Amino acid sequence: MARFAFVALILAVSTSFAAAETHNPFNGKNLDGWKFKNPPERNYWKVGSAGLKSDNPREIVLKKGGKELVNVKNRGIDAYTEAKYGDCTIEVEVMVPKGSNSGIYVMGEYEVQVFDSYGKTKLGGGDMGAIYGAAPPRVNAIKKPGEWNKYVIEFQAPRFDANGKKTANAKFIKVTLNGKTLHENIEMKGPTPSGVTGKEHAKGPIMLQGDHGPVAYRNFKITSK
């Protein structure tokens, strides 16, 4: 009997691992697989290698040949994936110019803040690593402007019944920045303003805010559960 139980456990674990699927929404070559908000003439998203201007660290210099997704100007538009996700773990690196502001909207609706908070000791709901409108970060883990920071965001999607009624809120299970824990088990009562639809769904895209300042992203890895 114990032998059968052990085999069943192994099969269950194997099935769990097999169900996990890793996806990279950015191919490092072009903007295929991405959509953009209006107006199209303010779309400043490019592919290349990003660095800061030597005489103005608030601005990005874009060079050819890189594999980074870069919003090169201020007051652009938001970008979001064609692919949609539910429960997932998001890994991504971000480079923030001095004074700049962006955001990672999980499911297109729940924002993890991207903001130049380097050197700040008192953190609020708009600083780097905050879950906007829900919780400030525990610690200030951001690097200097121009350096790359790595987020790992473990997320649980909201639940809905067969009639579309929400039965459980979305939840950030864990959020780390540069290896430091910022959040654990933060429940979202509703979406963050300025998302893709402003509504909650069982699945949604990943949106990157591009209307508040220049920013660069790279090394996406999304593991769906």
pTM higher than the cut 0.75:
yes
Within-domain flag for 62? yes
pLDDT in tens, 86-119: 999 999 999 999 999 999 999 999 999 999 999 9
Query: CATH number of the domain that 71 lies in?
Result: 2.60.120.560
pLDDT in tens, 23-78: 899 999 999 999 999 999 999 999 999 999 999 999 999 998 899 999 999 999 99
The set of residues, in sequence order, having a beta carbon less than 8 Å from that of 194 and lying 6+ positions away, is 78, 209
Domain boundaries, position 137: 22-224
Within-domain flag for 2? no
Q: Which helix (H) or strand (E) holds 46?
A: strand 45-53
For tokens 């691992």, what's the residue?
A: 17
Within-domain flag for 15? no
Within-domain flag for 41? yes
Within-domain flag for 4? no
Q: Count of domains in the chain?
A: 1
CB neighbours of residue 225 within 10 Å: 15
The Cα–Cα gap between 158 and 117 comes to: 30
